[in-house]
Amino acid sequence: QSHKMEAIGRLAAGIAHEINNPLAIINEKAGLMKDFLEMSGNLEQNKEKFDDLISSIFESVNRCRNITHRLLGFSRRIDGASEAINLNDTVREVLEFIEKEMLFRNIRLGLHLREDIPTIVSDKGQLQQVFLNIVNNAVDAIGKDGVIEIRTDIKDEHTVTVLIKDTGPGIPQEILRHIFEPFYTTKEKGKGTGLGLSISYGIMQKLGGTIFVRSEVNKGTAFTIEIPQKAVPV
């Protein structure tokens, strides 16, 4: 359960940050409206200003609504079910949960989504967990001031791929051979369970796909996720 709590904690922090911004705007604009009312009982004089403030409040409320709708859509898929999936949209949805942290750390994103990628049938929630685990690891590896490249592609008529590549410090070969083992982590105590990659690998095996990794010290790491166009029935 610890890996789930870690993932939920990251997700909750991102959502709290996303929602706090529009809420701060709502609070500010509502306060200004209250001040205008106290300063002047003549609403007609301030009608244009009030219209602007009200529009800003509506926009912020809509932002909050969109965030919660994204979260609900994400949570409904946790139990797992195969469905028709647009892989590019699935990648974009995952990035929405971590883009603010990447911006804060000055990590640039190189997004290369193949336009003619075919629709696949798989478990969207499970795939999102895999992508989120690997992107989170890439962010942690870089720390700050780097680049994460994500690319969708077609391997053959039965398989599509997602490449997640970072400009972090890379992984020595003696460590690389262990990274999919449960509880294996090089992170500081309390900062990782060593389960994220193990679980991601298990998910892809269950879906009929796999994960490959290559890494070079001082140059970075690249994960290639191979996904069958139709998931193996569980």
Average model confidence (pLDDT) across the chain: 80
Over residues 156-175, the mean pLDDT reads: 93
Please list, in sequence order, all residues whose beta carbon lies within 8 angstroms of the beta carbon of residue 132, skipping any fewer than 6 positions away.
7, 94, 97, 98
Per-residue pLDDT tens over the stretch 7-57:
555 556 666 666 767 777 787 877 777 777 777 666 666 677 777 778 888
Instruction: Record the pTM.
Output: 0.65
Over residues 188-213, the mean pLDDT reads: 76
Element (H, E) at 132: helix 124-142
Per-residue pLDDT tens over the stretch 57-93:
887 777 777 666 656 555 544 455 788 999 999 999 8
Over residues 98-115, the mean pLDDT reads: 92
- The model's confidence at residue 200, banded by pLDDT at 50, 70 and 90, is confident
What pLDDT is recorded for position 110?
Answer: 95
Q: Where are the alpha helices (DSSP H) in 40-112?
A: 47-76, 87-96, 99-104
Percentage of residues in the chain with pLDDT exceeding 70? 74
Distance, in Å, from the CA atom of 27 to the CA atom of 187, rounded to the nearest integer, reads 39
Element (H, E) at 210: strand 210-216
**Vertex 151: Cα angle to 76 and 148 (nearest 5):** 90
What pLDDT is recorded for position 183?
Answer: 60
What pLDDT is recorded for position 193?
Answer: 47
Least confident of 49-58, 107-116, 135-144: 49-58
- The model's confidence at residue 190, banded by pLDDT at 50, 70 and 90, is very low
Domain positions in the chain: 2-76, 82-228
Cβ contact 69:15 at 8 Å: no
What pLDDT is recorded for position 210?
Answer: 93
What pLDDT is recorded for position 8?
Answer: 54
Cβ contact 207:122 at 8 Å: yes
Class of domain 82-228 as given by CATH: alpha beta
What pLDDT is recorded for position 96?
Answer: 86
